[in-house]
Amino acid sequence: MIASATLPMDDDGPAHRFAVTPAVEAVVLGVAIAIAVTSYFIITGSDAPQRLIPPPLVALLLVANLVPGIALLMLLGRRVAMRRAARSPVGGGGRLHVRLVALFSIVAAVPMLLVTIFASLLFQYGVQFWYSDQARGMLENATGLAQSSYARQLNRWQEATVTMASDMSAYLRERSLQSPDFSGWFLQQVYFRSLSEAALFKLSPQQGIQTLAIVNPYEIDFTRRVTPSAIAELRSGKSAVVAVTGDRIQTITMLPGSDELFLYAGRVEDTKSLSEQTTRANDVLKSYRSLLARARSLQLQFNAALLLISLLIVGIAVWIALAVADRLVRPVGELVDAARRVAAGDLTARVPDPRSRDEVGTLANAFNQMTGQLEAQNTELVTANGQLESRRALIEAVMAGVSAGVVATGRERTITIANDSATTLLGTDTGGLVGRRLVDVAPELDAMLDGGDREAIVEVGQGSEVRTLAVRIARPATGPILTFDDITQQLLDQRRAAWSDVARRIAHEIKNPLTPIQLAAERLQRRYGGKIEAQDGTFSRLTDTIIRQVGDLRRMVDEFSSFARMPKPVFREESLVDAARQALFLHEVAHPAISFQLVQDDPGLTLVCDRRQIGQALTNIVKNAVEAIETRGEPGGSVTMTLTSDANTVGIAVADTGIGLPAERDRIVEPYVTTRARGTGLGLAIVKKIIEEHCGTIGFSDRPGGGTLVTMTFDAKALAALDQGASASELAGEGRLDTMTRNRT
């Protein structure tokens, strides 16, 4: 007996929806049986069993039987779904199973019903034409036309032969067969009537067939075509006898007014094609008539197949829905259990790895990731303070080793981060900078933030403690960051280099004429000194004055020459990597939009050099690269410094993506030559002098893809010979002096 089943209750009371009960299922089953019986009587009660049933009626019967059949399948699937749901630990009264069965059934049934109706109607309307009187008449007419065409073709040559026989009979009444022009006239008759061959013969019981005239280009034996039956038909009164042999249409007729003279005529034609067409037409008509007898049977078979296939599709959909519901409920149950464990505080709860990567599997993975992240975040929260302190210590350690000052500000320009170099350069007390307002520490730097400049030269301090700082400003969302370096000595070096060049030029211009002036005065004194009276000392005083003033000028030129010389480099073995890194750091912090990169083959690469001068040269080159990128006016850009070495040389290459080299690139290392409005033209001149004093060469070229490539090459072997070693104070500062003293002892 069918158990009672109703829709589940809602939380607020009974669901105000239609409840499926066993009575409803019984009604659906009864309706399905009643419709099936009614359809049977409608189909078998027709007076013309060989005619098609109207297509709309058949489609209506098909849908009427299909709808209750689909309903029965859905109800059956619902029962199975509820029984499976009752065994599931998830609960819910089997709603998911029932909904999936209903959903899959509707999704399969609605388009399937539409397709079934259209397929039935299209098939029946399409077939109805071929079973109509028009189609039958068309096929019968086509067959008749084929037969008529074949008969007309035979009749044509029969008439041509009979007409020729009448003309010959008229000719023989006026003339005899022995007439000299009979042969030509006979040939013309054959030609004009488009015959392939012809023969006039006489038939007698004693002598048989006697040929009187013949046109036979194909050399056939026409006597074999003259049969006693054909002669008998002609003598019985038939006008002509037509026969088809192979590809020939052959006609035999009797000359009018004679019982013994006969005419044979033949025509070569494609009789095989004509015969086959007639045969095919007859076969088609016969098959069509046989099909008419099975018209209704085919119609019912097709619609019955549609009905069975449609029900099979719905049945498969219900089975798939049950399988999918089982597959969904199983991982959902696992998720429910794991969720309850997490709600109880067990963050280690996980669901088994899903066997499929569908939405439910994705949900399971997401749940596992969520619980894993919750567990990890809980652990991270415990160690967060320690990590923050470690990071702060690391940042302070890194910033402490940087020679450039770094100051980060927050709200109201309060200093949040400052390294030791910034404290030293700004000359503050031991209280430090963090927590103080920038305007109280360095008003000059605070005033820079009011403008839009990204970099400037600022003097800070008072009296003898004035320092010149090269300041660069980055403006992130958290607050401005200032990086600055003490360029007081650099400016002094630049001014000294400028004055050195001026002094060298003055010395060169003045020193050249001094020697001939002195020589001329001395020669005048030697040659004319004895000829002038002793009482007259004017000549002697004047020449002495010239010689003395020339000496004074020479001493002044020597002083200019001494001033023009740059400080002599102090060569020691230095870390070239550290010098390059420090040259990049100041610009890297001040220009976050530009990418700075240091490429090195040997992390411990060293070079015998004056570190201050090499650092000054690298800083000038990187500064020029940054300014070239900013002049281009496009965001981004990169500066790449590459350090290379081999057995005898050390190379430094600086590549940028700026505007490139000017047209007069050969003069850019000359003093006072610059392409910028605010440039002094001494930077590259100083760089060139430093490189040359370090046994090196410098070159400028275009970077592939745009920009500039500066290459510096040093003779490492020659520099090694200039190594002066470290001073005692430097060794003591590095903690090595005591060790050397103990070794000597």
The tokens describing 70, both together, are: 């689909």
Give the separation between CA 29 and CA 72, rounded to whole angstroms.
7
In the numeric block, which tokens belong to residue 359?
Answer: 């939405």
Closest to 315 measured CA to CA, from 71, 533, 85, 143: 71
Q: List, in sequence order, every residue forming a beta bridge with 264; answer none if it has no partner.
A: 199, 252
Tokens, residue 404? 């450039």
The residue ranges of DSSP E strands in 193-278, in sequence order, are 197-204, 208-215, 240-245, 248-254, 261-268
Instruction: Give the separation between CA 361 and CA 354, rounded to whole angstroms.
Output: 5
3-class SS at 616?
Answer: helix
pLDDT at site 651: 94
Q: Each residue of 188-217: pLDDT tens digit?
A: 888 888 888 888 888 877 777 888 888 888
Residues 437-450 have pLDDT tens digits of 888 888 888 888 88
β-strands 415-418, 208-215 pairing: unpaired
Task: State residue 609's pLDDT score.
Answer: 93
Cβ pair 152, 239 in contact under 8 A: no
Residue 600 Cα to chain centre, angstroms: 36
Angle (CA) 417 418 421, round 5°: 160
Return the sign of the alpha-carbon dihedral for residues 172, 176, 180, 186: positive
Q: What is the pLDDT of residue 739?
A: 40
In angstroms, the first-to-last Cα distance of the chain is 115
- Residue-level pLDDT at 671: 58
* 7, 11, 93 from 20: Cα distances, Å: 7, 19, 14
pLDDT of residue 294: 56
Percent of the chain scoring above 70 in pLDDT: 74
Whole-number pLDDT of residue 608: 92
Residues of the chain with pLDDT under 50: 1-16, 464, 563, 680, 727-729, 732-745
Report pLDDT digits (tens) over 369-404: 888 888 787 777 777 777 777 777 777 777 666 777
Contact 326, 84 (CB under 8 A): yes
Amino acid 245: pLDDT:
75
- pLDDT value at residue 713: 94
- Alpha-carbon 628 to chain mean position: 35
Q: Are 499 and 490 in contact (CB under 8 A)?
A: no
**What whole-number distance in Å separates Cα of residue 274 and Cα of residue 383?**
103
- Provide the 3-class DSSP secondary structure of residue 653: strand
- Report the pLDDT value the prediction gives residue 380, as an integer from 0 to 100: 78
Alpha helices, H only, 344-471: 359-400, 420-426, 438-441, 443-450
Q: What average pLDDT does the chain have?
A: 75
Q: 223: which DSSP letter?
A: G
pTM above 0.85, yes or no: no
What is the pairing mode between strands 240-245 and 696-702?
Answer: unpaired
Instruction: Give me Rg for the CA atoms of the chain.
Output: 61
CA-to-CA separations, 686 to 245, 317, 494, 560, 690, in angstroms, rounded: 120, 87, 8, 18, 6
3-state SS record for 625-642: HHHHHHHHCCCCCEEEEE
> What's residue 728's pLDDT?
35
Measured CA to CA, the distance from residue 252 to residue 264 in angstroms comes to 5
Query: What backbone torsions phi and psi does residue 454 show, to the nearest 5 degrees?
Result: -95, -20
Question: What is the reported pLDDT for 274?
Answer: 57
Collect all residues with Cβ–Cβ distance below 8 Å to 716 and sequence separation of at least 6.
Answer: 607, 608, 645, 648, 649, 650
If you count DSSP H runs as helices and E runs as strands, how many of each does the chain have, helices first? 20, 17
Instruction: Give me the pLDDT at residue 654, please.
Output: 95
What is the per-residue pLDDT for 6? 37
Pair of tokens at residue 397: 């350690």
